């Protein structure tokens, strides 16, 4: 089974309108991989239109960082899946640990967002990850299983196998402390094992302090099909280098 590598840049709440246009321009102009690796950027929602305009005719895809679980109505501040589709998003992150920790998103809300996204044709990138305390208490596998099962219960196993799952240990996000290739592989093999018979086709990403320096070792692992990149995706050169590593 050959899975197409996927590199996703999560810009988080960074940059300005002009810096986002400049960054995506640098990414789009320098991305030429012969079509093997897939590259996606997730800017802040307010810059989606500007970024989408730059991406017209390029091979770089567009995603969003969050989506409402609701279709429409009196949900001040929320953005729906169909709105994201209108701005040519193909992907959306759901359940990023910052959404869970800073905004109190529960696993059942994450599951609703997952379903809402898929219902409008977006591919959800379901983020799961344990905290350092949970890993130290040897609860990492239990926590990941809970986070996955909450979505499987609502969406079904088939729905999950057509999405993307990103394993992002919370202790590795933005810390410079990347999981070892063996740690990442161990968890992603565990995740694949829970995704049922179609799991061989499902793309699984690792995220957490991925850089051009550590990407090669991660991508050598059997169950790592790409990366969700935060900090390093804010520098076009770093991000392109990671895409290039995934290509080779
Ligand atoms: P990082 O973030 O690469 O800066 O660690 C990854 C993420 O949060 O998606």
Sequence spans of domains, the chain: 6-247
Neighbours of 77 (CB within 10 A): 5
33 pLDDT tier (thresholds 50, 70, 90): low
Instruction: Count, in order, helices (H) and strands (E) of the chain.
Output: 11, 8
Among residues 32, 23, 85, 77, the alpha carbon closest in space to that of 54 is found at 23
- DSSP type of residue 45: G
Cα(213) to ligand 1 centroid in Å equals 15
To the query of whether residue 168 is one of the catalytic residues in this protein, the response is: yes
- DSSP type of residue 64: E
- pTM for the model stands at 0.97
Least confident residue range of 15-19, 27-31, 34-38, 147-151:
34-38
Residue ID of nearest Cα to ligand 1 atom 9: 230
* Residues 178-196: tens digit of each pLDDT: 999 999 999 999 999 999 8
Q: What is the CATH number of domain 6-247?
A: 3.20.20.70
Cα(73) to ligand 1 centroid in Å equals 32
* φ, ψ (nearest 5 deg) of residue 127: -95, 130
Please say whether the beta carbons of 95 and 67 come within 8 A.
Answer: no
- Cα 22 to Cα 28: distance, rounded to the nearest angstrom: 10
To the query of whether residue 138 is one of the catalytic residues in this protein, the response is: no
């Amino acid at each position: 089974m050959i899975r197409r590598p996927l590199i996703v840049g999560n810009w988080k709440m960074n940059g300005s309108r002009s810096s986002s246009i400049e960054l995506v321009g640098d990414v789009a102009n320098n991305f030429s991989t012969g079509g093997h690796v897939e590259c996606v950027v997730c800017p802040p929602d307010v810059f989606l239109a500007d970024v989408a305009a730059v991406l017209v005719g390029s091979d770089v895809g567009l995603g969003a960082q969050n989506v409402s679980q609701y279709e429409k109505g009196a949900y001040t501040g929320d953005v729906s899946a169909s709105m994201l589709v209108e701005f040519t998003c193909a992907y959306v992150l759901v359940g990023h640990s910052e959404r869970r920790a800073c905004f109190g998103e529960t696993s059942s809300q994450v599951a609703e967002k997952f379903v809402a996204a898929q219902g409008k044709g977006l591919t959800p990138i379901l983020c799961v990850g344990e905290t350092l305390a949970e890993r130290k208490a040897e609860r990492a596998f239990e926590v990941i299983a809970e986070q996955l099962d909450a979505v499987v219960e609502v969406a079904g196993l088939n729905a999950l196998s057509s999405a993307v799952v990103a394993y992002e240990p919370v202790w590795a996000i933005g810390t410079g402390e990347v999981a070892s290739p063996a740690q990442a592989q161990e968890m992603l093999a565990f995740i694949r094992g829970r995704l049922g018979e179609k799991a061989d086709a499902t793309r699984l990403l690792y995220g957490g302090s991925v850089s051009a320096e550590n990407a090669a070792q991660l991508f050598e692992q059997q169950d790592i099909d790409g990366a969700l990149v935060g900090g390093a995706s804010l520098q076009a050169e770093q991000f392109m280098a990671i895409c290039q590593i995934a290509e080779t």
